[in-house]
Amino acid sequence: MVLTYHKAGVNIDAGNELVRRIKKMAPAIGGFSGLFPLKGTKYYLVSSTDGVGTKLKLAFLLNKHDTVGIDLVAMNVNDLVCCGATPLFFLDYYACGKLDVDQAEKVVKGIVNGCKQANSALLGGETAEMPGFYKNGEYDLAGFAVGIVEKGQEITGKNVRPGDVLIGLPSSGPHSNGYSLIRKVFGDKGLKKYAAQLSAPTKIYVKEVLHLFEKLGKLRSSVAAISHITGGGFYDNIERLLPKNCRVIVKKSSWTVPPIFSIIQKTGAVPEREMYRTFNMGIGMVFIVREHCAAKVLKHLPSSRLIGTVVKGTVGVDVV
């Protein structure tokens, strides 16, 4: 049987349609983070909210709770830096049916770890105990991050143009996306077999990105867009940043896809396009930069590689 994210219960198109409808009511919504102008200052506050998704089911299965907090922080602060922002502080929401203090402590230790990696302060959060709402031993997580960026330094994608190039940073695995499909593909036995690869925490890119900005100096404006490759994979996350006359060509042969993705694809007979729309395939963050600046970006991001180009055409992404 051929498996897809939709057959696993996740409808990306429905999510995109909801965003389209919400934008009619709140036009500022739609980017990786929201920008709020601080009146009387030269800064924007930047905010993001996200969760860990059904990767939590893997934590429950393995009884491993010390890294999902890192995932939670990562999913938020990585979105912040896509706008060019420096993370400031983080808040968390932990909800359960019956509070297991030892379990919750492990989760929070992961959140603290993630905040340290992101140079972000953990200011507080909420612990909600709701009997009958969650199964015993299970919980849900949400995170909220706030950062800051100087006006004029924000990165929105509106300046992307044909001739720009794409530079990708490697991921640490599936990160925190696609786990509904992964669970459908493997079942509990397979999840345990590949636990090391599947439970690896989401990579936090904050220090690398801010280091790049520092090294680029005045050339920072050569970074036209940054895309966090999360739900929607390459297609949705890159396309959402593109102006009307730009199309992106991603060359899949330009990096080595980690074995876990090939195993998922083969085991579940998942179509290739579905793989690149569901997973990061080994590239967790993509920069769109001016071609003349590409060498400098590659130099200051040692693990990065050139993975594609921007051409003139209808808005969209081709993975070839």
Output the DSSP codes for 32-91: SSEEEE-TTSSEEEEEEEEE-TTHHHHHHHHT--SSHHHHHHHHHHHHHHHTTPEEEEEE
pLDDT confidence tier of residue 26, bands split at 50, 70 and 90: low
Mean pLDDT value of segment 69-80:
98
Q: Count Cβ atoms below 10 Å from residue 189 Cβ, excluding itself.
A: 7
Domain ranges of the chain: 31-154, 156-320
Question: What pLDDT shows up at residue 150?
Answer: 97
Asked if pLDDT for residue 154 goes beyond 80, the answer is: yes
Q: Is the pLDDT of residue 262 over 70?
A: yes
Which residue spans within 72-150 are E strands per DSSP? 86-96, 121-129, 139-150
The position carrying tokens 């867009």 is 225
Whether 67 has a pLDDT exceeding 60, the answer reads: yes
pLDDT level of residue 29 (50, 70, 90 thresholds): low
Greater confidence, 11 or 278? 278
Where are the strands (E) in the chain, listed by range? 34-37, 43-51, 86-96, 121-129, 139-150, 165-170, 223-228, 246-250, 283-289, 305-312, 316-319
pLDDT at 310: 98
Residue 267's pLDDT band, with cuts at 50, 70 and 90, is very high
Q: What is the pLDDT of residue 10?
A: 78
From edge to edge, which strands make up the β-sheet containing 165-170?
A: 223-228, 283-289, 165-170, 305-312, 246-250, 316-319
Which CATH topology does 156-320 take? Phosphoribosyl-aminoimidazole Synthetase; Chain A, domain 2 (3.90.650)
Residue of 4 and 299 predicted with greater confidence:
299
* Residue 140: burial class (beta carbons within 10 Å; 0-12, 13-18, 19+): middle
For residue 147, pLDDT over 80 is answered with yes
Is residue 288 pLDDT above 90, yes or no?
A: yes
CB atoms within 10 A of CB 66: 16
pLDDT of amino acid 9: 78
- Measure the CA–CA gap between 160 and 46, rounded to whole angstroms: 21
Q: How far apart are CA 301 and CA 293, in angstroms?
A: 12
27 pLDDT more than 60:
no
Angle, alpha carbons 58-13-28 (nearest 5°): 100
The DSSP code for 178 is: S
Of residues 27 and 209, the one with the higher pLDDT is 209
Q: Which amino acid is at 105?
A: E
Q: What pairs with residue 237 in β-bridges?
A: none
The CATH architecture annotation of domain 31-154 reads 2-Layer Sandwich (3.30)
Q: How does pLDDT run across 177-222, given as a tens digit for each residue?
A: 999 999 999 999 999 999 999 999 999 999 999 999 999 999 999 9
Q: What angle do CA 232, 235, 241 make, to 5 degrees?
A: 95
With a cut of 90, say whether residue 77 has pLDDT above it. yes
Tokens of 2: 């051929």
Mean pLDDT of the chain: 95
Residues sharing a CB contact under 8 Å with residue 25, sequence separation 6 or more, in sequence order: none
Per-residue pLDDT of 88-135, as tens digits, reads 999 999 999 999 999 999 999 999 999 999 999 999 999 999 999 999
Look at residues 278, 106, 119, 319 and name the one whose alpha carbon lies nearest to residue 205: 119
